[in-house]
Amino acid sequence: MSTAVRAERLDAGGRATVGECPVWRAQEGALYWVDIPARRIVRLEVESARRTEWAFAEQVACFAFDAAGRVVAGMESGMFGVTLPDASDASDVNEGHAVKLAAPAFPAAGMRFNDGRCDRQGRFWAGTMVQDMSLASAVGALYRFDEQGTLSAPVVDGLITQNGLAWSPDGRTMYLSDSHPQRRVVWAFDFDTDTGTPSAQRVFADLHNYAGRPDGAAVDADGCYWTCANDAGRLLRFTPQGKLDREIGLPASKPSMCAFGGGDLKTLYVTTIRPATNATDNDGYVFALNPGAQGLPEPDYAGMLPVA
């Protein structure tokens, strides 16, 4: 079950405080991700090792591209349409442009969006959380931002630290986790692909039975669910039946989210978090590894986004 796999540290990508939301852009041969407290989106052209970054007025937690290369993002105060201007000098921090599209009624102070991505039909989903995790406030919720640019009411509520969004290859199963130390659970839902409605919530994986907390995730072409076991420095792969069948150790203790990429979608990119204390030299970097599985293309947002 435990598999020895070499993880390459992508030094050219730089070191984040809270690296999250890796997104592979095949047409660019580039990996994108965010550094949440730095309020930045980072891009790395893998072959040339050219790094570009864009800074924003708010923290960016999650994002997805549309077909035109524009971005929908979950930030601190709502959903935003984002434009990443061309950067002539990769050594500079560039100014990103953002326009607010919609916002939920946050039930508590100090909240922001957290983990998010598109379903197979191109709706963008993202969840909210209270940033001070020590409060263990179960006021977070999962929202759907549809093709018409409408933000739903909470679709799933009562979350502390929303994470782990992913969909099965046929789109008919949705996965969602709560990575707070008091929860540590991954749920599966039946998913109506026509209406974008999850139902029949059930426990898929209880990480009290394994190492770590279930942070960001990805689904491979076999329908298996890969979760970053935060605090345990591991990747865990669960079959569609919820059985742990693969475990890969990582050189960083706090993996945060993973995404398949590369020309054949057989490279797994993993972002990590640099803890405030006792950080190792590897914490905060992005890693690349070949896990022995192939991923699926990340869906584009299906709606029309304004030019920010």
Q: How confident is the model over 136-153, as a mean pLDDT?
A: 98
182 strand-pairing partners:
none
Quick one: pLDDT at residue 262? 97
The residue assigned the tokens 């896990």 is 291
Q: Which of 66, 178, 215, 283 is catalytic?
A: 215
Mean pLDDT, the chain, whole residue set: 96
Known active-site residue 132? no
Kindly report the number of other CB atoms within 10 A of residue 137's CB atom: 20
148-152, 218-222, 291-295, 303-307, range with the lowest pLDDT: 303-307
Confidence of residue 175 (pLDDT cuts 50, 70, 90): very high
Residue 89, pLDDT above cutoff 60: no
Mind listing the domains of the chain with CATH numbers? 2-289 (2.120.10.30)
Give me the pLDDT at residue 4, please.
80
Average pLDDT for residues 133-157, to the nearest whole number? 98
pLDDT at residue 1 greater than cutoff 70? no
- For residues 208-222, b (16+ Cβ closer than 10 Å) or e, as one string? eebebbbbbbbbbee
pLDDT at 98: 96
Q: What is the pLDDT of residue 91?
A: 58
pLDDT more than 90, % of the chain: 93
